[in-house]
Structure 1
Amino acid sequence: MKDSSFIRGAVPMTKEEIRSVSLAKLQLRSAQNFLDVGTGTGSIAIEAAYTYPQLEVTTLDSNPDALELLKQNQAKFELSNVKGILAKAPVVLDQQFDAIFIGGSGGNLTDILEWSFRLLTDKGRLVLNFILLENALAAIQWLEEQEYFFQAVQLQVGQYTKLGKGHYYKPQNPVIIIETGKGE
């Protein structure tokens, strides 16, 4: 989905190219339950729910503005398989998930990682996005200590843009994507 398809506000949004790679790494084709932590605009949750109508999508965000944008985008795309929860992870949830996406940790990264692995099904997938190197390194260190298999990539995207009489690629923030899960 194009970024321009989404209703935007003052909350963060996972951009199109990063979203595409993150969703691919989540492997949602046969998933039934998906959790989006730190949903922001809801772009990950909305695209997942739209692409996989069988998928039940749960989102968490501690910002009421984020959940309002999620609701607006859910209505725009006429999706009934998305539910938003106003909360800061980790919270008690009474189900397990085939895939979890973490777009923000709010400073509780270790607690969120432990909580996420408890919520994952036996072959569940976990994908995390970071713009801060320190947070990505903290996640990598925790995964190594727990002896979980993972892969980490950094993506740098630039948009072709006119500048005076010439053109250049206007850079977006580089994003580190970590892919892990159970059963690896």
Structure 2
Amino acid sequence: MTNYNLFSIPDSEFIRGNVPMTKEEVRALTIGKLRIRPKDIILDIGAGTGSISIEAALFAKEGIIYSIERKQEGIKLIEKNIKLFNIKNIKLIKGIAPNDLGNVPMVDKVFIGGSGGKIKEIFDWVDDNLKSHGRLVINVITIENLYKALEQIKRRKYKNIEVVQIAVSKGENIGNLTMMKGQNPVYIISADKEC
């Protein structure tokens, strides 16, 4: 494994299982949209394999990443990836957001990669716990969840709301030819919390 200090760690470097993982190209754009500073306190909701948390931790070297995941397989994968990348600034929470976020302090950034159907409740928590001028980034793959997330953002005190759709295709060898194989499109929503 290579020692990474910049984002876009290859997917192949992570230990993976049956838990969804934010793919490399989507992860790079997501990390960019978070605009991470060295001392940021960041919350990763629905952490999956921990790929976003790992890359965020490399940027917020003096900060803390709170990584919450509800699936046991995901917890084990995150623990293995934390060890693999020798990350010291991730606090792993086994549980469901927002119910199990009681020990998380005010945060500078929130990333929502999965909501478990509790998008309104998560936004209620974010309203109380994301600092003024804090940054929120949400990745969704369905139009319904895109609508629900935008509805919540527009009801609340956010500005600079942006929606990006990213559709990545990767080359796959077929004999001595290359065919582009499409991955699921992902919607990336980002916004800044007003004072």
> Which TM-score bucket, shorter chain as reference?
over 0.9
Offset of residue 89 of structure 1: 0.6
The letter for the 1-side match of 2:169 is G
Give the alignment partner of residue 138 of structure 1, picking from 140, 145, 148. 148
Matched, 1:12 2:20: yes
Matched, 1:180 2:191: yes
After superposition, residues 91-110 of structure 1 pair within 5 angstroms as 91=99, 92-110=102-120
Offset of residue 115 of structure 1: 1.2
Mean CA deviation greater in 136-145 or 97-106: 136-145
Q: In the alignment, what sits opposite 2:6?
A: none
TM-score (normalizing by structure 2): 0.89
Distance 1:181 1:51 in 2: 19
Q: Tell me the SS of whatever aligns to 2:158.
A: coil
Shift in alpha-carbon separation, 1:153–1:31, aligned structure 2, 3 A: farther
After superposition, residues 52-91 of structure 1 pair within 5 angstroms as 52-91=60-99
Distance 1:162 1:179 in 2: 35
Offset of residue 147 of structure 1: 5.3
Q: In the alignment, what sits opposite 2:46?
A: 38
Show CA shifts across 1:67-123 (max 9, x none).
Answer: 111110111111111111011011323411100100001111111122122211111
Matched, 1:2 2:10: yes
Mean CA deviation greater in 118-127 or 139-148: 139-148
Distance 2:115 2:89 in 1: 24
TM-score (normalizing by structure 1): 0.94
The letter for the 2-side match of 1:113 is F
The letter for the 2-side match of 1:137 is Y
Matched, 1:148 2:161: no
Show CA shifts across 1:53-72 (max 9, x none).
Answer: 21211111111111111110
Q: Tell me the SS of whatever aligns to 2:136.
A: strand
Mean CA deviation greater in 58-67 or 34-43: 58-67
Matched, 1:157 2:131: no
Q: In the alignment, what sits opposite 1:125?
A: 135
Distance 1:118 1:21 in 2: 26
Give the paired residue count: 184
- Contact persistence 2:157–2:194 (CA under 8 A): no
Mind listing any 5+ residue stretches in structure 2 that lack a counterpart?
1-8
Offset of residue 168 of structure 1: 2.1
